Structure 1
Amino acid sequence: MSPFSYARPTAVQEAVQLAGPHARFIAGGTNLIDLMKENVERPQRLIDITGLPLHEVADTVDGGLLIGALVSNSDLAWHPRVQHDYPLLAQAILAGASPQLRNMATTGGNLLQRTRCLYFYDTATPCNKREPGSGCSARQGLNRNHAILGASEHCIATHPSDMCVALAALQAQVHVAGPQGARQIAFADFHRLPGDQPQRDNVLADNELITAIELPAEGFAAHSHYLKVRDRESYAFALVSVAAALDIDGHVIRQARIALGGVAHKPWRNPDAEAVLIGKPATAANFRLAADLLLDGADGQGRNNFKIPLARQAVVRALTDAAQAMEAA
């Protein structure tokens, strides 16, 4: 681990002024510290933001929820409003990591996780995400866990978060503070596909800080389900995950949201796959049609080809479970 300076601001604007290309914000530190130990990240300054007033969960005027960036994953998953109105988010959070890590990890930090690609962590191998222009070792290497959608010749890594898949399906907003003031970013626009700049995971500037996540009033509490397929029951990243949310009137779907995790550089959605379900009955046949559209263009790298049929089946199952959620309850 390289030497670094340390600062602990008490106000958001103070934190922003301390930020820059060679500084990193730290809160729970569950991912950043690992990267620093492996010399993947070498910040010259750590900005400890745990003293900032970003620990609250509050109702919004339009019936939604505003979640401070420093709310822990555990506190968020077990918050009464999340449990009652946004069970999809609670399920996704509790499917990730371990209780100990969830106690430390923060809402804002979860959005900023780096990929768990083996080659990204191994500084002895080429990796365009770690060292742009050096090459992507995963393309011809151990790529069982890698992307089948939205990848490029420069990077086939996947985003590791479970929580972010649910936030994508719920169409959250990311609140950000920077030197020019505050702004909001639609969750769908927050994370990037790799393209020819795989080192950039999201659209934040170096001196911008996540302050909160805002959830809309509609949480699909009656018909939602988070399904995570992994190699072992706990403490494992998703091979494929699905956040499915439906608004059903009788047996007819009025609104649908589907987000995939473990398959791309960001949580994956396709508006066409959701639109095809509108006005249709909640049947397996219609769910298969949506799955086909969602996986349109999927391309494996050999070792991860199995993810394509696995994802298709997972989408059908998650939608089926979401449709039947209230009946089961």
Structure 2
Amino acid sequence: AATFTETLAARETLQLTGGMADRQRRFAAQNAALRAAEDRTVDVELRLRLIGFLEGLSVAVLLVAGAWLAGSGRVTIGTVAVFVLAVANLFEGVLRLSQVLGELQSTAVSLARLLDLLERTADRPAPDNRALPETGDLTVKSVRYAYRQGTDVLDGVDVSFPHGAHVAIAGPTGSGKSTLVKLASGLYQPDAGTVTFGGVDLAGVAEAEVRRRIVLVPQQVHLVSGTLADNLMLVPHEPTRDELLDAVDRLGLTAWLAGLPDGLDTVVGPYGSALSAGEQQLVGIVRAALVDPAVLILDEATADLDPVVAAQIETAVDRVRAGRTLILVAHRPETIARHATVVHVDDGVVTVS
């Protein structure tokens, strides 16, 4: 149950990094085991229902036999009562077990239904097997999006991110910055308008293909129980341990990794609780480097970061941005100042400076 809850909480992050398929395979195996256990439970419950019937029959026989024996003076009524109560108590324990197994069955069915949620992604047209180009401009054209009907978060947004551009997105809290990048990454589908990469509309492209080209590292990078290596491997392909170490080294994070208790084998705890918010974002950046996308979108962490971790994030971003489009949702003035192009989002209106 804890593993399921973690994965459900990390669902969006897993979709963004392309790691959902691996988690689905694991849960499919667990789900199959649950269903097999459920079948066994049903079989046991049917047998226990038969035992319940036998209990009633046994009590009835004892009452009839006891009445006859008591009437003939062979036993007392007290003796008959003791036998009847003893048999009833014996069967009561068995029936309680039946109820517990029935509850377990219901729980298994409910969990199976919840597991199905993990296989659902945002509504999108059926993919037509189109491949995205290796590189290209990312363009948001006439896009409108609302979380609730009649309340547009973004309305008529037009913005283009040329290949290789390094752009900051700025704006007050709640202005629509995060919504814009989730639309640009293909995680959300616009209510109107299009999002294209290299001239290809993302709406008709398989999600796995989109994830190969565009990766979004959110503010809060959800991690799952396991080791650091387990979490770094939640990407579309299955990187080797050497590839993990190489990605860490390329981003200048070797010292950070060496400072962890067990390196790649460090246990991150439930929801990544053993790591700070900044370190969790470092995990997200390393995942992005493993995917090697054409477009990297990074939503800067708003939490107060340790100066050392903040410097490590800056170093990693500077290294990972080379040769690709970088879109950085900036919350700190010093971050905005480092970018020549800034997209301002204010109350759903987008301007470029």
TM over 0.5: no
Report the structure, 1 or 2, having the larger helix content: 2
- Normalised by the length of structure 2, the TM-score is 0.29
Question: Which protein is bigger by CA-based radius of gyration?
Answer: 2
Higher relative contact order (CA 8 A, sep 6+): 2
